[in-house]
């Protein structure tokens, strides 16, 4: 564990790039072998706007990375943050607790707030208006959302008190798990259900991309599924009946246009439709 954390403390940029490109490549190929849905689309054309937003996310995170380093260094020097105030624990548990709480604040809470605050939902909408969710959708975030997500991660690092090695490990896991749970792959249902007790599985996250409420407002997690189960936001839905997109923004042409997506947060808010659930 010490070796692992030491590696992530100084992880080269080339290795982080390899995780991004390697993950997309691996899941892209897997989607061709065991697809959940056989989309009627040109895969590269669909991927282009998603790759554009992946690039803007990389630029923003790279430009602001020094803030994560400074904050992590501050918590280490001042022995500040939740995991530094807990009783002494084995290193593996220290790392796990750090990852869990970074995931809570940087992913789950950020995601929940984006769905509950109308202006933030309009920013997050770019991610949800993909009508063909696949592994490239994972990083389809408007630049404003990249700033919002970074801010929550920064707050998480400060409050949790995680050293930079755990921060970099968290970001790497977050990247790969997001590619995994967005991937258009069909795992055996029992395998997917078993995974969903620990991590956010593909079937679990796909429910979140269903086009109407209340399913859109569920399954906010990114790495660990514990937070959705703990806070009552976990939902199940037949994966074969899932329809991607958002019912109030159905224009597939605009939703596939970089220019249209960049302007999307500035549209007038439209109240989503709620599906009537069987009692």
DSSP string covering 247-272, please?
Answer: TT---TTGGG-HHHHHHGGGSPP-PP
Long-range CB contacts (within 8 A, 24+) of 235-243: 235/207, 236/207, 237/207, 237/210, 239/36, 239/186, 239/203, 239/206, 239/207, 242/206, 242/207, 242/209, 242/210, 243/210, 243/211
Spans of the chain, pLDDT less than 70: 276-279
Which DSSP category does 275 fall into?
P
pLDDT of 274: 85
Q: CB neighbours of 8 closer than 8 A, spacing ≥ 6?
A: 164, 165, 166, 168, 169, 172
User: Residue 53: CB partners within 8 Å, gap ≥ 6?
Assistant: 126, 139, 140, 141, 142, 143, 261
Distance CA 207, CA 227 (A): 16
For residues 157 and 97, the answer to whether their CB atoms sit within 8 Å is no
Contact 174, 103 (CB under 8 A): yes
Q: What is the pLDDT of residues 121-164, one digit of tens each?
A: 999 999 999 999 999 999 999 999 999 999 999 999 999 999 99
CA-CA-CA-CA torsion sign (48, 199, 20, 43) = negative
Q: How far apart are CA 262 and CA 260, in angstroms?
A: 6
The predicted pLDDT at position 278 comes to 59
CA distance 243 to 32: 20
Helix or strand or coil: residue 12? Answer: coil
Please check whether residue 6 is in contact with residue 165, taking contact to mean a CB–CB distance below 8 angstroms: yes
Closest by CA position to 207, among listed 237, 174, 249: 237
Q: Give CA–CA dist 169/58, Å, rounded.
A: 16
């Amino acid at each position: 564990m010490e070796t692992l954390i030491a590696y992530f403390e100084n992880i080269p940029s080339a290795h982080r790039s390899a995780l991004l490109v390697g993950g997309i490549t691996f899941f892209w190929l897997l989607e061709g072998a065991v697809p959940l849905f056989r989309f009627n689309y040109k895969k590269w054309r669909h991927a282009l706007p998603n790759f554009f937003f992946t690039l803007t996310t990389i630029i923003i995170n790279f430009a602001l990375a020094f803030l994560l380093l400074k904050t992590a260094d501050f918590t280490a020097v001042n022995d500040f943050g939740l995991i530094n105030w807990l009783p002494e624990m084995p290193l593996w548990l220290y790392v796990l607790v750090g990852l869990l709480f970074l995931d809570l604040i940087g992913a789950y809470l950020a995601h929940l707030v984006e769905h509950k605050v109308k202006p933030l939902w309009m920013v997050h909408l770019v991610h949800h208006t993909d009508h063909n969710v696949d592994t490239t959708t994972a990083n389809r975030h408007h630049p404003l959302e990249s700033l919002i997500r970074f801010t929550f991660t920064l707050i998480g690092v400060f409050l949790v008190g995680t050293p930079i090695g755990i921060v970099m490990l968290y970001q790497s896991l977050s990247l790969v798990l997001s590619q995994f749970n967005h991937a258009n792959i069909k795992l055996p249902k029992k395998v997917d259900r078993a995974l969903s007790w620990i991590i956010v599985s593909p079937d679990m996250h796909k429910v979140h991309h269903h086009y109407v409420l209340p399913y859109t407002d569920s399954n906010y997690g990114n790495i660990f599924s514990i937070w959705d189960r703990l806070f009552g936001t976990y939902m199940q839905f037949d994966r074969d009946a899932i329809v991607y997109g958002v019912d109030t923004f159905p224009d597939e042409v605009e939703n596939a246009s970089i220019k249209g997506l960049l302007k999307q947060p500035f549209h007038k808010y439209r109240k989503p439709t709620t599906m009537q659930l069987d009692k």
